[in-house]
Amino acid sequence: MTLAVSSWERSSASELVKRLGSFNGRRFATAAPLLLPDNMHCEGRLSEKMSRKSFVIATVANCLLTGVLFAQSQPAVLTIHADQPISKVSPTLYGLMTEEINHSYDGGLYAEMVSNRTFGGSWAGIHNWILVEEGNSQAKIAPDSKTGPSEALPNSLRIDVSEASAAEPAGVLNEGYWGMAIRPNTTYTGSLYAKEDSASVGPITVSLVQNQSGKVVATATVSGVTTDWKQYPFTLKTGAVEPSAANHLVLTVAHPGTLWLSLVSLFPPTYHNRANGNRIDLMEKLAAMHPAFLRFPGGNYLEGDHIPERYEWKKTIGPLVDRPTHPSPWRYHSSDGLGLLEFLESCEDLHMQPVLAVYAGYSMAQEHVNPGADLDPYVQDALDEIEYVTGGTNTKWGAIRAANGHPEPFHLNYVEIGNEDFFDKSGSYEGRYSQFYKAIKAKYPDLLLIATMPVKSIRPDVIDDHYYKRATDFFHDTTHYDKTDRNGPKIFVGEWATREGTPTPNFGAALGDAAWMTGMERNSDIIVMAAYAPLLVNVNPGAMQWETDLIGYDALRSYGSPSYYAQVLFAKYLGTGTLASSLQGAGPKFFYSITKDEANKRLYLKLVNASSDPQPVNVEFPGASLAATATLTSLIANSTEATNTIDNPDSIVPKESTIHLSGSALHHTMPAYSIQVVELNER
Ligand code: AHR
């Protein structure tokens, strides 16, 4: 039951709490004299023999012992004027930013299971491929740069088998990206390019094998290999196996001779069953974030360390055999299997708009292209790229997109010119941005062009700001955009994160993130979009280049960090406009945002208590007529270091409950370290 406590009862209970304070040292030691809030909610049962006085005291004691009742300051008063809209909330406020970092694509979102599938580029030797010699069979393997299946893929793996038989075959195995995920009763779709010398070494046996038991869980045969390069499809089907990541792929032959392999590929079922598609679990996690847009392909990945290592979109489209792959600035090679069209199709799958970042003539080793004639080919490349995305099939690049499998043009609103060009010490961005701006606007006047730093000669439509901070810094910076000139360029917070926790953010980071998001929401009349970065991390040793990433995974499993769940909540309960409000008496680590969804007549109150003490708050809605019950969704932890991990993925997840209003007020105590959303319905 809930007690309304009189002032006498309150002071007796306070006295009792003072005496019992040593039971919960940290919370009570500093709390004398203790004030019990008017709306003290303690569950208890009043027996017939008990006086009300002893019941109150017993209940308080019980609450104290069970830790329900804590020392509390006077409640903060939050007054919300549901009938006074302040500004519009950007419907595209929350979206995604990805790039090839931390094995975000290869070994991550991109569902390919075979690592180093093309044996080329700058890999050291034949990384991830191991010689197999069963029994007394004998063979040698070596990378071969003299033959490959295409101009784009001039390399291959050469396997010289000197002795082999059906009982004792020889060949190679691939370790996958820290293993290969196998699930029961699942069909895996594979293909490989192969050729052999005149002797017949084939057929090739392709098998998925468990690492520990050595048991073959699926097998297929590839026959008819000739002396010319050709692609061979195969299918592997598992039976009743335990799901596991500890598996590898084996390719063997039973006869002596020489075999060359390239572009060995294996896919599990993918999101929306797309060929060359994405991992289902990761796409589902992204979908749950209600993303309005995807900023791609980077980030530093767009720029590359050197100009020839930039993201060249034309080399990422069409059949995989025509994609040459390229070194990424994050110290591993990119297969470019997740190329421009695949990015766009991911946008389609998750109903996001693409925010297309085009290479703008700056690479990270302080290499730049001078504005003017030198830059013209890069500008043309961007124009071609925009045509590939948006052009009809009657345009050159629109027709190529159609030939690649997507006749329908994609809708594009935003193009970003470069990435973090404030790092370019030559000061060339002013000229580079303006050259891109003029050329793109001339052909596509409706496109909004994002600058990566302030420019003077032209007014950018949007400026991309990046913030990587500690939680405390975000707590102190939630008012960052409160005074920003509303007549200036709009803001895209294209990368931001509280960097605390590795590989994924801990709860302290989630509190910093949530506090920052309250500030972004309040200013989302000017902040049109925002994206956490980096989004993804493969948590295996050696896979990560950047600490504190939103979603972690290995080959088989994935999990959301506390920050991920904070994002899910903020994006799910976005609202269409902010409301007038005022706050009094709150602690310094209390933050909030109040928005309303006009169509649904729903109010979303986001509350953040980053303090180690609970925060009582009386929320008043003068003049509003609200339903008596509201939904409360809570994300709570016991410590700022608390987190989710690959082995303990659901330690901190949102939990829903119902809370009750008294008239047009909500008397609520936020637990220590909590992020909460209250969903209120107007009557
Ligand atoms: O998100 C990681 C990196 O941080 C991005 O690639 C870059 O834009 C920023 O400096």
* 3-state per-residue secondary structure call for 137-164: CEEEEEEECCCCCCCCCCCEEEEEEEEC
CA of 262 to the centre of ligand 1 (A): 32
Mutational pocket test of ligand 1: of 105, 420, 464, 468, the residue with most ligand atoms within 8 Å of the beta carbon: 420
- Count of alpha carbons within 13 Å of 227, Cβ hemisphere only? 5
What pLDDT, on a 0 to 100 scale, did the predictor assign at position 39?
Answer: 33
Does the pLDDT value for residue 463 go beyond 70?
yes
* Mean pLDDT, residues 608-631: 97
Q: What is the pLDDT of residues 427-441, one digit of tens each?
A: 999 999 999 999 999
CB 554 within 8 A of CB 542: no
Higher pLDDT, 34 or 519: 519
Closest ligand 1 atom number to CA of residue 533 = 1
Ligand 1 contacts (CB < 6 A) are 99, 101, 298-300, 419-420, 495, 533-534, 546
Averaged pLDDT, 218-225: 98
Q: Concatenated DSSP letters for 281-318? A: HHHHHHHTT--SEEEES-SHHHH-SSGGGS--GGGGSS
pLDDT above 60 (res 34): no
The string of pLDDT tens digits covering residues 140-156 is 999 999 999 999 999 99
pLDDT value at position 35? 33
Pick the range with the lowest mean pLDDT from 19-23, 86-90, 355-359.
Answer: 19-23
pLDDT tens profile 44-63: 333 334 444 554 444 444 44
- The least confident of 22-26, 348-352, 373-377, 557-561 is 22-26
CA distance 388 to 392: 9
Q: What is the mean pLDDT of residues 645-663?
A: 97
As a whole-number percent, the residues of the chain with pLDDT over 70 amount to 88
| pLDDT above 80: residue 80 | yes
Handedness of CA 390, 392, 397, 400 (dihedral sign): positive
What pLDDT does residue 126 have?
A: 85
Out of 103, 300, 532, mutate this one to test ligand 1's pocket (max ligand atoms within 8 Å of CB): namely 300
Ligand 1 atom, smallest distance to 420 CA? 8
- Whole-number Å distance, alpha carbon 301 to ligand 1 midpoint, is 8
Please give the average per-residue pLDDT across 582-609, as a whole number.
97
Contact, 491 vs 623, CB < 8 A?
no
pLDDT band at 125, cuts 50/70/90? low
Give the position of tokens 């080919």: 377
Separation of CA 135 and ligand 1 centre (Å): 49
CB neighbourhood size of 318 (10 A): 17
| Atom 7 of ligand 1: nearest residue by CA position | 299
Residue 20's pLDDT is 37
C-alpha torsion sign, points 156, 266, 345, 397: positive
Expressed in angstroms and rounded, the spacing between residue 84 Cα and the centre of ligand 1 is: 39
Q: pLDDT-based confidence at 229, cuts 50/70/90?
A: very high
pLDDT (tens digit, 9 = 90+) per residue, 491-533?
999 999 999 999 999 999 999 999 999 999 999 999 999 999 9
pLDDT tens-digit map of 522-580: 999 999 999 999 999 999 999 999 999 999 999 999 999 999 999 999 999 999 999 99
List the alpha helices (DSSP H) in 33-173.
Answer: 52-66
Residue nearest to atom 9 of ligand 1 (CA): 299
What is the band of 583 on the pLDDT scale with cuts at 50, 70, 90? very high
pLDDT for residue 202: 86
pLDDT at residue 2, rounded to an integer: 30
Per-residue pLDDT at 38 exceeds 90: no
